[in-house]
Amino acid sequence: MDLGVFAFLFPAASFSRCKQEDGNCLLEAITATFRNFYKGVPEIGLVQLDPLRIDKMDIVQGDGPINIVLNFRKVDLTGFQQAEIKKASGFTPNPTKMELDLLVPVVSLIGGYKINGKVLILPIQGEGSSNMTMANCDISLKWTGKLVEKSGKQFYQIDKFKMHFDTTRFYMDFTNLFNGDKALGDNMNVFLNDNWQDILKELKPAIAEAFKQIFESVIGNVFSKVPYSELYLA
């Protein structure tokens, strides 16, 4: 059987298709989607991926050395145009578990923030614009689900969704900390970046949870809009 790559990769339907077990073809095809269709494909429910607009995202870290409420509003996640797919599995005719691993050279989250709390004993407070950037961001997305029938057609419905990530460097830049006290704010930014490894370790589960919801919604949106078999070329 000739299972095509996702048809949405190639709305013009003029590209080569992948054989069902041709993993390399699938990797290249999904990578090409990020390169060429990062602005989104509304007909199939694929939102713009780069920048990916996030209206609201909250990182709440309640215990341990870091105790913060970090609210982001109207932030843009950038960098996914350069995503390289490392692994794609489970894209079978009768899918249950699926997995996508991607490597993004530079991911930045840019936009408005508000922070309150304590970071490694130092109080932190501020509201302004922020830039959180990760280099060599390794992202693993795994989900389970099944085909369900809706108005006579089979759609893939996500059940459980998991997200893990790692990075070789985490940069933070918060403007207007401490009501605009520049000396305090500059010191805090230096402190945060000097301690990025400890901070990332503490914040990782909260960051992963926030991004999990975003990626689940992006992927789930496509699956709920297009019958599963129509995602592939016939």
Ligand X SMILES: *[C@@H]1O[C@H](CO)[C@@H](O)[C@H](O)[C@H]1NC(C)=O
Size of the site for ligand X (CB under 6 A): 6
Q: Is 110 one of the binding residues for ligand X (CB under 6 A)? A: yes
**Residue with Cβ nearer ligand X (33 or 133):** 133
In the complex, what is the shortest distance from the CB of residue 135 to ligand X, in angstroms, rounded to a whole number? 8
Which one of residues 31, 61, 130, 133 is an interface residue with ligand X (CB under 6 A)?
133
In the bound state, the residue with its beta carbon closest to ligand X is: 131
**Residue with Cβ nearer ligand X (15 or 171):** 171
Which one of residues 81, 89, 131, 144 is an interface residue with ligand X (CB under 6 A)?
131
Q: Is 200 one of the binding residues for ligand X (CB under 6 A)? A: no
Rounded CA separation 187/223 (Å): 46
**Residue with Cβ nearer ligand X (174 or 223):** 174
**Residue with Cβ nearer ligand X (144 or 189):** 189
Where are the alpha helices (H) located in the chain, listed in sequence order? 23-36, 182-194, 196-225
In the complex, what is the shortest distance from the CB of residue 108 to ligand X, in angstroms, rounded to a whole number? 5
Q: Are 26 and 91 in contact (CB under 8 A)?
A: yes
Cβ-proximal residues to 174 (8 Å cutoff; 6+ apart), any chain: 113, 115, 126, 128, 130, 185, 188, 189, 192
Query: Structure tokens of 54?
Result: 């996030």
Q: Is 108 one of the binding residues for ligand X (CB under 6 A)? A: yes
Cis peptide before 51 (omega within 30 of 0): yes
In the complex, what is the shortest distance from the CB of residue 194 to ligand X, in angstroms, rounded to a whole number? 14
**Residue with Cβ nearer ligand X (171 or 196):** 171
**Residue with Cβ nearer ligand X (171 or 215):** 171
For 180, other C-beta atoms within 10 Å of its C-beta total: 12
Site pattern 19..58 for ligand X (x: CB under 6 A): ----------------------------------------
Buried b (16+ CB within 10 A) or exposed e, 144-162: ebebeeeeeeebbebeebe
In the complex, what is the shortest distance from the CB of residue 210 to ligand X, in angstroms, rounded to a whole number? 18
Site pattern 137..176 for ligand X (x: CB under 6 A): ----------------------------------x-x---
For residue 38, the 8-state DSSP code is T
Rounded CA separation 82/196 (Å): 24
Look at phi and psi of residue 38 and say left if phi exceeds 0, alpha if psi is from -120 to 50, else beta.
alpha
Indicate the Cα dihedral angle 98, 135, 35, 94, nearest 10°: 0
Residue 69, helix vs strand vs coil: strand
Q: What residues line the site for ligand X (CB under 6 A)?
A: 108, 110, 131, 133, 171, 173
